[in-house]
Amino acid sequence: MLETRNITINFGGLIAVNNVSITVQPHKITALIGPNGAGKTTFFNCISGVYKPTKGEIILDGQHLEGKRGFQINAAGIARTYQVINLFWKMTALENVLVGMNSRLTTNFWDCLFHTKKKRAEEKLIYEEAYELLKFVGLEQYANAPAASLSYGKQRLLEIVRGLASKPKVILLDEPAAGMNTAEKAELDILLKKIIDMGVTILIVEHDMKLIMNVSDYIYVLCNGMLLAQGVPEEIQNNPEVICAYLGGEE
């Protein structure tokens, strides 16, 4: 479904990501793990169009995405969340979700200005849909609260649901469990599976090993910008190279 081929990202001499090829299978949870500074977030930013890859290809269902800009990639069907929460703080939770729907709306500027029938119909529809989406993650009672007033864990959930609002094929989750308490993490576990059931494929970066080993179908391990290992969770858990990378080298 989503495939990267030999992605290399160079920051003026520093090679942040080196020749990484991964394949994300549809309706599965694929995880990307690795020690700090391994290049996971850089790789994510590359897929979502923040950076352009120096070399390599990104293909979603046969469509080449390398070098496209962020909003085009969103329209192509890849949504994302951020490692550092990037909500629209002064907008309400509901409005955040509405913004997330942007790339699949059909009204144009003149519809917006003249309050046409088409706009009114679309607005009514998307307000209901956005409310349903908030319900999906249990935030419906905060619909009219500014995003900034939510707790950290709820802000993470809002980011996920804002990403889902564009009805993506793939959603990239960058450390969704960071800052969540134990109860929220347990709920996240269930939520990820519910997202898969919706028909959305997940590519996740996460440091919480318990969560990753629980939910992932396939894992890629990144270290120093290079692919170190890949496999199902059991294989990764028993891979000496991975253990070495995480716990420090011992010959």
Partner 1 sequence: MKFDKKPNKLILIAGLGLLLFILPFLTKLIVGNQYPLLIMCIIMIYIIAVTGLDILFGYCGQISLGHAAFFTLGAYTTGLLNMYFNLPLFITIPAATVLTSVLGALLAYPASKLKFHFLSLATVAFGEITYYFLYTSPGGFTRDFRGINVVGISFLGEDYLKWYFFLLFFVVLVLLGKTSLIKSRTGRAFTAIRENTHAADGMGINVRKQKIIAFTVSAFLTGLAGALYVHLIKYISPETSMQKQSVLFLTMLLFGGTASIMGTILGVVSIEVLMEAIRFLQEYQMLFYGILLLIVIVALPGGVYGGIKDLIVTIKRKKALKALNVQKAADTGKDGAE
Q: Is residue 86 involved in binding partner 1 (CB under 8 A)?
A: yes
Nearest to partner 1 of 69, 194 (CB atom): 69
Of 102-110, 203-211, 225-233, 241-249: span binding partner 1 (CB under 8 A): 102-110
Nearest to partner 1 of 31, 172 (CB atom): 172
Please name the helix (run of DSSP H) or strand (run of DSSP E) that holds residue 189, with its range, or none: helix 182-197
Nearest to partner 1 of 78, 223 (CB atom): 78
Of 29-37, 100-108, 210-218, 229-237: span binding partner 1 (CB under 8 A): 100-108
CA-wise closest residue to 43 among 79, 3, 85, 7: 7
CA-wise closest residue to 47 among 216, 230, 149, 169: 169
Q: Is residue 6 involved in binding partner 1 (CB under 8 A)?
A: no
Of 63-71, 189-197, 221-229, 241-249: span binding partner 1 (CB under 8 A): 63-71
Among 69, 135, 193, 210, binds partner 1 (CB under 8 A): 69
Cα gap 247→239, rounded to integer Å:
12
Contacts of residue 168, Cβ cutoff 8 Å, sequence gap at least 6 = 74, 77, 78, 79, 200
Locate 131 and state its tokens.
């409310």
Q: Is residue 102 involved in binding partner 1 (CB under 8 A)?
A: yes
The least CB distance from residue 70 to partner 1, in Å, is 4
Q: Is residue 134 involved in binding partner 1 (CB under 8 A)?
A: no
Contacts of residue 251, Cβ cutoff 8 Å, sequence gap at least 6 = none
Task: Tell me which residues in 11-50 interact with partner 1 (CB under 8 A).
Answer: 48-50
Whole-number CA gyration radius for the chain: 19
Give strand ranges (E) for the chain.
2-11, 14-24, 29-33, 55-60, 63-64, 78-80, 170-174, 201-205, 218-223, 226-231
User: Can you give the binding site for partner 1, defined by CB under 8 A?
Assistant: 48-50, 69-71, 74-75, 79-80, 82, 86-91, 95, 98-100, 102-103, 105, 107, 109, 111-115, 119, 123, 162, 166
